[in-house]
Structure 1
Amino acid sequence: MVVAGIGVINSAATRVHPSGPCSSPRGSWAADMSETLFPATVSSHVFTLTAPFRAHPMKRLPLDDTFKVNRNPVTLREIVLDKLRSAIMNFQLLPGDRLVERDLCDRLGVSRTSVREALRHLESEGLVEFADAKGPRVAIITLADACDIYELRCVLEGLIVQLFTLRAKPKDIRALEKALEENRQALKEGELQQVIDSVQGFYDVLLEGSGNHIAATQLRQLQARISYLRATSVSQENRRGASNKEMELMVEAIKSGDPMAAHQASVDHVRNAARVALEYLKSKQDEDTKVREIIAPVALKEPRIGR
């Protein structure tokens, strides 16, 4: 590598004048600095700096265990979990059905460990219960439990919809409209699981846009049982069209910027779904008790703290 420059510094121009440092012929600080940096002896002299180029050899790093392709057991466990959850949601496995590990292993073609882990996870979601020594079974959601879930939905979803109305950005509104249309298309195609997924997609947009992650977390912890009850109500023919219309009213209230109207539309939607699902559960569980009314608290005009 070669670096070259031409010195053109005049020795007279850089010499300090007797009358003072600023009275040199060039009369500047730069002149004094040039004397220091480039002495007069290099005037009109070509200077060259030469350095040899040396290629440094690339260091080889060892191939350790991180280079291995790991078979991820979580993938298989998630597949088994989704299969069992879908079978419960689609009523292929009914409440009270015994879940024999050996039979499930044969049907799914997986190990007993994968089945056992999936069942324990479904227990945490409230879809499977280990009620006695006979082993796990599909959980029975009682009328009382269902009423409790619907009342909690009225509170949390009403709040979520209010906050979404106040905080949502234009892109959130567009995402909600898209989710509503996807639900409408799913209803036309008639696949129950697709309908359930589209409704959940609609609520996912609301949860994200509300800005209240604690309320969203509480609802997601109940998601499996909410989805099961939702499947119970949506599977009834007289409920499908009404459900989408109620969701459309929610969107219209949100777009109008009226949080109170949005809250009321949300509560009405939950109550109407509850009425259908609870009557269905009552008929299947042979209970003579009257289905209680779903209570919802009065909405606050301003649900945000500190406003």
Structure 2
Amino acid sequence: MLKVERPKTLKESALASLRDAITSNTLKPGTRLVERSLCETMGVSRTVVRECIRHLESEHLVKGIPNSGFVVASISDEEAREIYEIRALLEGIAVKACCEVITPEAIKQLYALHEEIALHLKNDDIKTALKLTTQFYELIFKTAEKHVAWVLVTQLNSRISRLRAYTLSSQGRKTKGPQDLYDMVKAIEEHNPETAVAICERHVREAYEIATTIDKGSDT
């Protein structure tokens, strides 16, 4: 029997909306989260808003300030460096393994995702490009059967998406980023793990270098 997709609850929809606003940098670091305003904007109750804020606090996207409520959290340079180090390690492992087991169908899907990412970046649709980039890497990890590694990545995904939003908005990254993804897929298709991993590591390193030059705001 086919699995029946469950429609999203009001809380799930509100959580996704608020998370997207933070990861896309629509709500910038340090922005105070006022319950009444959020209720009016999203059309939900204060109970739902509070549950969403608590959930995002567990994802380190929101931070509680004593006697001031909650604000959008910032990402320190130290946190960013560690996140990129973990990205390079886990993505390199997945890309290498993917070279050994890749199928023509998976290659076709990766190229299709690359084209969509490039198109949406060209049209300045960062939000959609971020979602597609997550799908791109998820396909690599799952094709490589690195399921535990992907779980670790998903636990960081909210903050990874925020950093990607910063870097993808920078000059040149909108074209250089997709080109790196294309070159990576090409190397995977050719079963060339050394080249694929080198491209992956370079892509992450360059993203980190861009992120360190951008003012990511303050939550204090």
TM over 0.5: yes
- Cα RMSD of the aligned pairs, angstroms, is 1.7
8 Å CA contact 2:122–2:174 kept in 1: the answer is no
Aligned to 2:120: 186
Residue 67 of structure 2 is aligned with which of 107, 129, 133? 133
Aligned to 1:63: none
Residue pairs, 1:264-283, within 5 angstroms: 264-281=198-215
**Residue deviations 1:175-212, cap 9 Å, x none?**
11111111122122221112212211211211211101
Provide the C-alpha distance between the structure 2 equivalents of 1:249 and 1:151, rounded to a whole number of angstroms.
21
- The letter for the 2-side match of 1:86 is D
Provide the C-alpha distance between the structure 2 equivalents of 1:89 and 1:120, rounded to a whole number of angstroms.
16
8 Å CA contact 2:23–2:159 kept in 1: the answer is no
Provide the C-alpha distance between the structure 1 equivalents of 2:7 and 2:161, rounded to a whole number of angstroms.
27
Residue 117 of structure 1 is aligned with which of 51, 54, 64? 51
Please state how far the C-alpha of 1:82 moved relative to its aligned partner: 1.4
**Residue deviations 1:83-103, cap 9 Å, x none?**
111211232211011112122
By relative contact order (CA 8 Å, sep 6+), the higher-ranking structure is 2
Aligned to 1:147: 81
Q: Which is higher, the Rg of structure 1 or of structure 2?
A: 1
Instruction: Confirm whether residue 220 of structure 1 aligns to residue 169 of structure 2.
Output: no
Aligned to 2:104: 170
Instruction: Confirm whether residue 210 of structure 1 aligns to residue 144 of structure 2.
Output: yes
Normalising to structure 1: TM-score of the pair? 0.66
Segments of 4+ in structure 1 off by > 2 A? Answer: 89-92
8 Å CA contact 1:233–1:239 kept in 2: the answer is yes
Residue 170 of structure 2 is aligned with which of 236, 244, 259? 236
Q: Tell me, what secondary structure is at the counterpart of 1:91?
A: coil
Q: CA, structure 1 residues 73+252, in 2 after alignment: closer, same or farther (shift >3 Å)?
A: closer
Residue 98 of structure 1 is aligned with which of 14, 19, 32? 32
Aligned to 1:252: 186
Provide the C-alpha distance between the structure 2 equivalents of 1:106 and 1:241, rounded to a whole number of angstroms.
38
8 Å CA contact 1:125–1:224 kept in 2: the answer is yes
Please state how far the C-alpha of 1:240 moved relative to its aligned partner: 0.8
Q: Tell me, what secondary structure is at the counterpart of 1:137?
A: strand
Gaps of 5+ in 1: 1-71, 286-307
Residue 85 of structure 1 is aligned with which of 16, 19, 32? 19
Provide the C-alpha distance between the structure 2 equivalents of 1:83 and 1:211, rounded to a whole number of angstroms.
30
8 Å CA contact 1:186–1:195 kept in 2: the answer is yes
**Residue deviations 1:119-148, cap 9 Å, x none?**
111112221111323111101110110011
Provide the C-alpha distance between the structure 2 equivalents of 1:92 and 1:256, rounded to a whole number of angstroms.
39
8 Å CA contact 1:167–1:211 kept in 2: the answer is no
Gaps of 5+ in 2: 1-5
Provide the C-alpha distance between the structure 2 equivalents of 1:73 and 1:205, rounded to a whole number of angstroms.
24
Q: Tell me, what secondary structure is at the counterpart of 2:215?
A: helix
**Residue deviations 1:148-190, cap 9 Å, x none?**
1001101001101111111222211111111111112212222
Q: CA, structure 1 residues 74+183, in 2 after alignment: closer, same or farther (shift >3 Å)?
A: closer
- The letter for the 1-side match of 2:84 is Y
Instruction: Confirm whether residue 195 of structure 1 aligns to residue 101 of structure 2.
Output: no
Please state how far the C-alpha of 1:73 moved relative to its aligned partner: 10
More helix by share: 2
Provide the C-alpha distance between the structure 1 equivalents of 2:24 and 2:162, rounded to a whole number of angstroms.
9
Provide the C-alpha distance between the structure 1 equivalents of 2:150 and 2:202, rounded to a whole number of angstroms.
20
